[in-house]
Amino acid sequence: MAMGSANEMIEHLETAIALEYASQVICQPYIEEYTIVAKQLNKLIQIWRKF
């Protein structure tokens, strides 16, 4: 659930940039942070599946 939410937020931010609701300068740091969170969640899910 959280993994999908992080990826969905990235898509929302990219859409906001494409539709010119927000600037790249404002959204890019958030996209980078959400990308890191998504990678961390992915790793956590992989580790949990091994137990």
Indicate the number of domains in the chain: 1
Region of residue 10 (phi > 0: left; psi between -120 and 50: alpha; otherwise: beta):
alpha
Q: What is the pLDDT of residues 23-36, one digit of tens each?
A: 999 999 999 999 99
Q: Mean pLDDT for the chain?
A: 94
Structural domain containing residue 32: 2-50
Per-residue pLDDT, 12:
98
Q: What is the torsion angle, in degrees rounded to the nearest 10, for the CA atoms of residue 23, residue 29, residue 42 and residue 13?
A: -10
Q: How many angstroms separate the CA atoms of 31 and 51, rounded?
A: 31
- Does position 4 have pLDDT exceeding 90, yes or no? no
